[in-house]
Structure 1
Amino acid sequence: MTNICSDQDMKIINDIMRDFTNVTKVAAIFVSTRGKRLSKEYNFSPFCKIVRSNPNHLKRCNQCDLYGGLEATKTFSSCPYKCHMGLVDFSVPIIKNDVLLGFIMAGQAKTEDRTIQNILPHQTDWSDDKKLKALYSTLPVLTAEQLYSATKVLRMMVNYYYPMDIHLVEEIPYQDLPTFIEAENPLNRPEVRKALIYIEKNLSSRISLRRISNHVHLSESYFSKIFKEDMGVSVVQYITLLRMQEAKKLLAYSQLSVNQISKTLGYNRTSYFCKIFKLTTTETPHEYRKKYSSTPNV
């Protein structure tokens, strides 16, 4: 595959990653728009070096890098997510003259923040690998605050050389619903954090504001207020957003039909699911699957 980056671009990108890892100690790598490595590995952990030496694991690493990069590009955000091995990563796209050159992927850390979601619908089972288990125990543990600070530092460094123009983002017809949620500050209210975990666990069920409020032992009005303050969106908007994010993963990386995905995400009518999906992505589920479905060449 041809690298569309010039030598000067590669030098700048490598300098960004070198300085970023020197300051934060967070690993980084530059990958193509298909998830393939284009640069050297900066501050890579022994755990990830061994994982990527396995062809089967490497394929899933490429999928994680690709999906994470596409999400960051489409939404102009760098929200941390968990890769197929359970580590936390985040992505910052490199765009020059309206051309996407690739993505800087960073992370390779552990976290106890349960609000960070898996990027792929199925995790890789490596529980029987004694060597990986030993190396996993040596990985750094980052708090939510440290993770979001790292994303902001990397974005600022990239934006200095490759400023992102907001006109590149596809316009979303349904303006009341953001395309992605990025909590710039760690959530400091336990009720909201508890609610996020509850929503994630019950995404395929009939979730209502009343049920969530009862779960966190708050009135509906007060809970709605603090949720909006912490998350920047309403409870209903957040649930819809979360379902659409999960739908995109399932469309790209699973063989489930659109009807099955609809029911998996708690929608009784597939037609309604398709309508909401198109409103939030500008594409039908079938169009999205055709465009981003994982293939052996990814």
Structure 2
Amino acid sequence: MISASALNSELINKIAQDFAQATGLAVVVVNIHGEEISKLFNFTLFCQLMRQHPQHSIRCRMSDRVGGLEASKSNQRCIYRCHAGLTDFSIPLVITGHLVGFVLCGQVRLRNDVELVHILDIDDRWQADPSLMSEFLNVPEMDYSRVIASADLLTLIIENCLKKQINFVMIKDQQQPAEKSRIGRGQNPHDSKMKKALRYIDTHLSDELRLEDVAAHIYLSPYYFSKLFKKYQGIGFNAWVNRQRMASAREMLCHSDWSIASIARNLGFSQTSYFCKVFRQTYQVTPQAFRLKINEHERPE
């Protein structure tokens, strides 16, 4: 399991700050939920205002998360347009085989007419705000070739500096004296195993998750892990996995334009019909009806 100290280290902020200053691009590191785990470096005033807005900020965070997930599909950098039409790129942060977050850069307007991945519907409602429109026009322009070069450079930095340093921090933590690593008084010895299992589930929702595989990951028998899981979480393993997947499905239906089939595949469902069945059992509405209801609610009067 990746320690919080490893992900929130000064090194992450230092690399992000230096890269932002060298390239003129905005940089932030987020976890797999799209939550910021670094400071915001070189953010344009337009994006700062968007992230302060109650509605627009939700799509900004969703854009961060979906852009990161798009990159994680191939474990390579992905250049895309955000929900406001700006160009960004994302690089997955994979440590010891686990996807733990994404490095996001960009916030530029392209000089070139280039076809890019559209991770979310372009949301132009913000254009009704004169202050946002004015700041959008102040967003710097950049050649597509420079964006590619910046993305490739940051990939090298992450692979050859950041990941190695984080791995070193993790190894150093594991080599602390026994008295420091010993489980505290009154703490159940299985707490750490369950935290590790839940983190594994959270980062593998798009895979075929089997109880046996998660049990093996934390060195417990499937039978014992099944009983332990229900004791800790109050529900069975499969029910918990489906609950987490359905929570992610709601976010994607609200803030992305992915098809129902794409969302189902992204959340580890081999059959769209089964995904729709589970979603309806969870929320008493089909995914299609849920999305229509959200769109009608957000439509300006």
**Under TM normalisation by the shorter chain, which class is it?**
0.5 to 0.7
Q: 2:158 corresponds to which residue?
A: 158
Amino acid at match of 1:151: A
8 A contact 1:4–1:101 mirrored in 2: no
2:111 is the counterpart of 1:114: no
Q: 2:136 corresponds to which residue?
A: 136
CA shift, 1:8, in A, is 6.8
Q: Per the alignment, do residues 32 and 124 of structure 1 end up closer, same or farther by CA in structure 2, a change over 3 Å counting?
A: farther
2:150 is the counterpart of 1:146: no
CA shift, 1:22, in A, is 1.6
Q: Per the alignment, do residues 79 and 287 of structure 1 end up closer, same or farther by CA in structure 2, a change over 3 Å counting?
A: farther
Matches within 5 A, 1:257-296: 261=259, 283-285=270-272
- Name the SS of the counterpart of 1:13 in structure 2: helix
Amino acid at match of 1:159: E
Higher alpha-carbon deviation: 91-100 or 51-60: 91-100
Q: Per the alignment, do residues 255 and 116 of structure 1 end up closer, same or farther by CA in structure 2, a change over 3 Å counting?
A: closer
- Name the SS of the counterpart of 2:125 in structure 1: coil
CA shift, 1:287, in A, is 7.0
2:57 is the counterpart of 1:70: no
Q: 1:16 corresponds to which residue?
A: 15
2:87 is the counterpart of 1:102: no
Distance in 2 (alpha carbons) for counterparts of 1:255 and 1:7: 30
Using structure 1 for the length normalisation, give the TM-score.
0.56
Amino acid at match of 1:11: E
> Where does the alignment leave 5 or more consecutive residues of structure 1 unmatched?
172-248, 263-272
Distance in 1 (alpha carbons) for counterparts of 2:42 and 2:14: 13
Q: 1:82 corresponds to which residue?
A: 81
Distance in 2 (alpha carbons) for counterparts of 1:286 and 1:146: 43
Using structure 2 for the length normalisation, give the TM-score.
0.55
CA shift, 1:19, in A, is 1.7
Runs of 4+ in 1 over 3 A off after TM superposition: 168-171, 249-252, 281-291, 293-296
2:56 is the counterpart of 1:61: no
8 A contact 1:28–1:107 mirrored in 2: yes
Q: Per the alignment, do residues 287 and 159 of structure 1 end up closer, same or farther by CA in structure 2, a change over 3 Å counting?
A: farther
Distance in 2 (alpha carbons) for counterparts of 1:131 and 1:123: 16
Distance in 2 (alpha carbons) for counterparts of 1:148 and 1:10: 27
- Name the SS of the counterpart of 1:162 in structure 2: helix
Amino acid at match of 2:18: D
- Name the SS of the counterpart of 1:84 in structure 2: coil
Q: Give the RMSD, CA atoms, in angstroms.
A: 4.1
Distance in 2 (alpha carbons) for counterparts of 1:152 and 1:117: 17
CA shift, 1:83, in A, is 0.7
- Name the SS of the counterpart of 2:123 in structure 1: coil
CA shift, 1:123, in A, is 2.0
CA shift, 1:61, in A, is 0.6
8 A contact 1:121–1:253 mirrored in 2: no
Distance in 1 (alpha carbons) for counterparts of 2:146 and 2:20: 14
Distance in 2 (alpha carbons) for counterparts of 1:255 and 1:105: 18
> Where does the alignment leave 5 or more consecutive residues of structure 2 unmatched?
165-202, 208-248, 280-286, 295-301
Which structure has the larger Rg over C-alpha atoms?
Answer: 2
Distance in 1 (alpha carbons) for counterparts of 2:122 and 2:80: 14
- Name the SS of the counterpart of 2:88 in structure 1: strand
Higher alpha-carbon deviation: 85-94 or 122-131: 122-131
Q: Per the alignment, do residues 284 and 106 of structure 1 end up closer, same or farther by CA in structure 2, a change over 3 Å counting?
A: farther
Please list the CA deviations of residues 128-177 of structure 1 after superposition, one character each: whole Å capped at 9, or x if unmatched. Answer: 111111111111111210111111011111111326xxxx9999xxxxxx
CA shift, 1:125, in A, is 1.8
8 A contact 2:84–2:122 mirrored in 1: no
Distance in 1 (alpha carbons) for counterparts of 2:57 and 2:271: 30
Distance in 2 (alpha carbons) for counterparts of 1:255 and 1:127: 18
Sequence identity percentage: 26
Distance in 2 (alpha carbons) for counterparts of 1:159 and 1:153: 10
Distance in 2 (alpha carbons) for counterparts of 1:52 and 1:35: 13
Task: Name the one with the larger helix percent.
Answer: 2
Q: 1:205 corresponds to which residue?
A: none
Distance in 2 (alpha carbons) for counterparts of 1:8 and 1:26: 22
Q: 1:126 corresponds to which residue?
A: 126
Distance in 2 (alpha carbons) for counterparts of 1:255 and 1:65: 11
